Each structure stands twice: as structure tokens, then as C-alpha cells.
């Protein structure tokens, strides 16, 4: 199910941004704070943002939509090498290459050092929500230990993780030209805290019992009461495993 993310700005910043847009910069220049000069469009798929960090739609775009998590850069906190950076960083997350970007003056840059964790405050389906992304999980599929996942549900036993990404697909309209657009995708993973293992799951009893036979009884008991068909059900089930009382459904 596609999530609708809109930024929620709770703070005011005293930073003054000059006019300008993203471009390609020398990746060899590194700030002592761990920032690197890597342009937002260094990987191609060009997009434009104004001085405040808001995306500028264009009829000349080769690909409709955006590869980013949000249409604009938003305030967040970032942790690199175990050190939390200033909370007034303006950041945005590329779902095309799983890379976090930040705004510095009139430039839109990437972090050279691996991002361990970042947190942003957004509105998800009209609900204010703190969203945390973390790396450091075991490699699975095409993902590495540097890949960033949204921590959907945390706990002492298991964690529910979501890997969000975007791909380019062709949209065919009747008697019209083929248009390329960004399409949202997501995969869910269950991380066993004690065993430090990752398994791919989907919100279905069959998927979970196949990938995690030891949890068959748990998911079957939960599904008998609450069903198992979407992300909300996965969150409730994981909470029950972690001995956290899930919120009652209406």
C-alpha cells in the first residue's frame, strides 16, 4: 500500500539560504564534520529544487514525479560514526539509491561517511509521526549492512523494518505517448534481535509461516483475532511478540 508522506515543519531555522540549485560537485572534498561534496544529481535522474529545498516541478522532466521521499527538504537529525549531527539539518532521502542528502547553503549534498541513523518528523496519512531510519542490519538480497530501513516497529525481541524504494516505469495512456514515471515500492523484513538475522516477510500468514516456521503459532493466533493483510497488522503482530499490547482496532 502506497504511503503518502508530507513534511511537518515544527522548528524555525536561522539559516539563510542563497539562491541556487543542485548540481555535480567534487566528491573528493570532505568537511571535517563528515559532510561530502556530492551533488544530488551526481547519479543522474536530474531534479530541481529551489533555495528553500522545495522541489520545482517541470514539464520538461524526462521522468514524472520524484525519486525522493519528500517533495522538499525537511528538518531532521542524523547520526554518523556514532555522533549525532546538529538537529537543524535540512535533509531528504533518495528512494532511488537509498541515499540521504542534506542542504548546505545553496548546495544539495550527500554524506560521504555512511549514515547510521536519521530521524525526521512527517505527516503520514494525516497523522503526525516521527520516522526513524537505521542501517547496520545484516545483508539480505541486494541490500547491504549500509542500507537504510525505516524502523516501523521496534522492540527487544524483533523489529519490523521497511525498505522503501522507487523504480522507473512506463505509463501507457490510451492514444497517448508513453510516459516514464517514478513508482513507489516497499519490502518488509523481520529482524531477530538475539539471532541478528533478517527475513523477508509480507503481510500474510502464509508468507510469515514459510519464512519463519518458529513463529507460525504466533502469527496464526494473531490473525485469528485481527487478520493479517496490511502493514498495520504486521505492526500489531510484532508488538504482540515483543509483549507490547497492540492498539485495539476500531
* Residue 247 included in any domain: no
* Residue 184 included in any domain: no
* Residue 103 included in any domain: yes
pTM for the model = 0.77
Element at 158 (helix H, strand E):
strand 158-171
- For residue 207, the number of C-alpha atoms closer than 13 Å in the C-beta half-sphere is 14
Q: What is the pLDDT of residue 32?
A: 31
Q: What is the pLDDT of residue 128?
A: 82
CB-neighbour burial class of residue 94 (10 A; exposed 0-12, middle 13-18, buried 19+): buried
| Rounded distance between C-alpha atoms, residue 64 and residue 60, angstroms | 9
* Residue 194 included in any domain: no
Number of domains in the chain: 1
Q: Which domain holds residue 45?
A: 1-134
DSSP 203: S
Asked if pLDDT for residue 17 goes beyond 80, the answer is no
Least confident of 46-60, 155-169, 201-215, 226-240: 46-60
* Residue 181 included in any domain: no
CB-neighbour burial class of residue 27 (10 A; exposed 0-12, middle 13-18, buried 19+): middle
Nearby residues of 220 by Cβ (< 8 Å), 6 or more positions away: 205, 209
* Residue 89 included in any domain: yes
* Residue 156 included in any domain: no
Mean pLDDT of 193-208: 95
CB neighbours (10 Å) of residue 80? 19
Q: Which of 22-36, 49-63, 141-155, 219-233 has the highest mean pLDDT?
A: 141-155
Residues constituting the chain: 250
* Residue 113 included in any domain: yes
Mean pLDDT of 97-120: 89
| Rounded distance between C-alpha atoms, residue 164 and residue 94, angstroms | 10
Asked if pLDDT for residue 56 goes beyond 90, the answer is no
Average model confidence (pLDDT) across the chain = 78
Q: What is the pLDDT of residue 143?
A: 97
Amino acid at each position: 500500500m502506497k504511503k503518502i508522506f508530507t513534511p511537518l515543519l515544527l522548528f524555525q531555522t536561522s539559516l539563510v539560504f542563497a539562491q541556487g540549485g543542485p548540481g555535480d560537485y567534487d566528491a573528493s572534498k570532505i568537511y571535517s564534520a563528515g559532510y561530502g561534496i556530492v551533488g544530488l544529481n551526481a547519479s543522474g535522474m536530474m531534479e530541481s529544487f529551489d533555495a528553500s529545498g522545495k522541489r520545482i516541478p517541470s514539464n520538461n522532466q524526462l521522468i514524472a514525479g520524484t525519486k525522493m521521499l519528500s517533495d522538499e527538504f525537511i528538518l531532521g537529525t542524523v547520526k554518523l560514526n556514532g555522533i549525532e549531527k546538529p538537529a537543524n539539518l535540512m535533509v531528504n532521502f533518495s528512494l532511488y539509491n537509498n541515499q540521504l542528502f542534506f542542504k548546505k547553503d545553496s548546495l544539495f549534498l550527500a554524506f560521504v561517511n555512511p549514515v547510521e541513523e536519521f530521524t525526521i518528523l512527517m505527516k503520514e496519512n494525516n497523522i503526525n509521526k516521527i520516522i526513524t531510519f537505521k542501517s547496520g542490519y545484516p545483508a539480505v538480497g541486494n541490500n547491504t549492512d549500509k542500507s537504510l530501513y525505516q524502523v516501523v516497529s521496534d522492540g527487544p525481541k524483533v523489529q519490523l523494518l521497511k525498505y522503501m524504494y522507487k523504480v522507473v516505469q512506463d505509463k501507457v495512456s490510451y492514444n497517448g505517448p508513453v510516459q516514464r514515471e517514478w513508482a513507489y515500492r516497499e519490502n518488509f523484513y523481520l529482524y531477530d534481535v538475539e539471532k541478528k538475522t533478517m527475513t523477508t516477510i509480507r503481510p500474510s500468514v502464509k508468507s510469515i509461516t514459510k519464512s519463519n516456521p518458529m513463529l507460525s503459532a504466533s502469527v496464526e493466533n494473531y490473525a485469528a483475532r485481527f487478520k493479517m493483510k496490511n502493514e498495520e497488522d504486521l505492526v500489531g503482530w510484532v508488538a504482540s511478540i515483543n509483549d507490547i499490547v497492540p492498539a485495539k482496532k476500531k
